[in-house]
Amino acid sequence: MNFMSSLRFPEPYQHRHPPVCNINELLQEKPTLSQKAADLIAGTVGSWRFLIIQSLLLAGWFILNLVAWITPWDPYPFIFMNLVLSLQSAYTASIVMISENRQAERDRLEAHHNYELNLKEEEELRAILDHLAAQDEALQEIHRRLAALQADREQAGGADRLP
C-alpha cells in the first residue's frame, strides 16, 4: 500500500460567502434629509454647549423680567416662558425619538452583520480544525511508520539506525 495514499486530508476551504461590508458605509447612503436633520438636532440638544447656552438665555429671561429694565414681556410666574419651554420639549422629544429610532435601526443592522460574521468565522474555524485534525492523524501515521522502520532496521542488524 502506498504511504501517501493512506493519508487523508479534507478538501481546501472554499469561501462561499459575500465579502465583509462596512455597516457605516451602508448607513451613510440611506439617511433622508429629515433623518440627517434629526441626528443633527439630537446631537446639538444633547450637548453641554446647548445646555449652557439655554441656561444663560433662561437666566437672562428671568433677570430682564424680574428687574424690568425693559418692559417685562413675561411677568412672574413666567407663563410665556413655560409655554416656550413646553413647545421646545415637545418638539425636541419627538426629534430625539426619531434619531433614537434611527440608531436602533443601525444597532439592529450591526447586530445582524455581527451574526453573519460569526457564522462565517465558525465555518472557517471548523475547516481549520478539520485540517488540523487531518494533520494530526498524518503525523501520527508518519510517526508510527518511522517507528516501525526503525524497529525493522534494529532487528536487521542495528548498523543502519535512524538518529
Q: What is the pLDDT of residue 83?
A: 94
Structure confidence at residue 160 as a pLDDT band (50, 70, 90) = low
Q: What is the pLDDT of residue 87?
A: 95
Between CA 17 and CA 117 the distance in angstroms is 10
Calculate the CA 107 to chain-centre distance.
8
Between CA 157 and CA 148 the distance in angstroms is 15
CB 154 within 8 A of CB 161: yes
Give me 128's grid cell.
Answer: 481549520
Point out the least confidently predicted range of 24-28, 105-109, 149-153, 157-161.
157-161
Mean pLDDT of all residues belonging to the chain: 84
Structure confidence at residue 3 as a pLDDT band (50, 70, 90) = low
Instruction: For residue 90, count other CB atoms closer than 10 A to its CB.
Output: 10
Structure confidence at residue 161 as a pLDDT band (50, 70, 90) = low
